[in-house]
Amino acid sequence: MEIIRACGLNIFLETATVRRETVWESITPPGHWLGTLLEGSLSVQQEGFGEHLWESGGGTIFSTSENVATRHVVQRDGSVAAVFVQIEADMAEPLVGGDTLALISRKTPDPRLALPEAARTIAWQMLGCPLQGPARRLYMTGKAMEMVAHVLDEASAPDRTGAGITAAWPARDIARLHEARSILLAELASPPSVPELARRVGTNAKKLGSGFQALFGTSVYGFVKTSRLDAARLLLEGGETSIARVARQVGYQPQHFATEFRRRFGVAPTTIAGRAR
C-alpha cells in the first residue's frame, strides 16, 4: 500500500493480486475517512462498527476518534484496487467546514454508499498516475481534494445515496435493481436496452432508470460504460496485449476505445498492457 501525506490529508492507494480467503489485519487510525473499493470483494470487520461485505464500486464515509482494529478477508481470487482519504481531525474543519464535518461524523462505514461517478473516475486516475516525487505528491493532493468535494456534495443529499434508497424503496424493487445490474455485467459486450432490461426484471423503464441512479449513483448507460472500461482494464492487467481485441470483447469500437479509457483512468490502455508484460 502506498501512503501519501500532505496538507492534513493522508491518501491510501492499494492495488494487489489476491487469493480467496486471504486475511490481513490493520489499524484504522483516528480521523474522518472516505473512499472506495474499485475492484475486488472483501469482508471487512471493524471493532465498534461490525462486519460489512465490500463489493467493487462500494464507497464509504465515516469518522472515528480512536484506533479501530480492522480485519479483511478476501472473498474471491482476483485483484483488489482501492483509494481512501483520511482527513486528520485537527485539519478537518479548516478543510471541509463545520457543517460538512458534522455530516461525516454521523456516518458509519457502510459500503452501500454509491459514490458519484466523478469520484470513482478520480480514484482510478489516482491509481494510474505515472508521476513521481514532489510532482506525484502535488497531483495526488489535488485529486484527493477533488474526490472529497464530489463525495461530500453527493452525501449532503441523503435521498441521492445508495444507503438512503434502502429505506425509501421496497425490498423487491431493490432486488430487481441488483438483478438488472447483474444482467448488465454478464452481457456487457451487447447489453439489453433499458426497456428490455426493465421487462426482464419485472419493472418499467422509468422506475429502472430512477432506481439505478439512486442505488448505484449513475444511469444505466453510465454504468455500462464504466463497467466496460473496468472490465477492459482487468483484461489488460491480466496479460491481454491486443488493444483492439479487448475493445471488441467489452463492446467498444477500437477507434473510440483508447480515448474513453484514458478519460476514465488517466492513462492509455497501452500503458496498462505494457505494465502487465
Q: Give me the residue spans of the domains in the chain.
A: 2-157, 164-276
CATH superfamily of 2-157: Regulatory protein AraC (2.60.120.280)
Strand partners, 27: 69
pLDDT, tens digit, 9 for 90 and up, residues 113-153: 666 777 888 888 888 887 888 899 999 999 998 888 887 77
CATH number of 164-276, picked from 3.40.50.2000, 2.120.10.70, 1.10.10.60, 3.90.1300.10: 1.10.10.60
Q: What is the pTM of this model?
A: 0.63
Task: Give yes or no on whether 2-157 and 164-276 have one common fold.
Answer: no
pLDDT, tens digit, 9 for 90 and up, residues 73-113: 999 888 888 999 998 888 777 777 766 667 666 566 665 56
Burial of 52 (0-12, 13-18, 19+ CB in 10 A): middle
Q: Closest by alpha carbon to 83, among 7, 174, 148?
A: 148
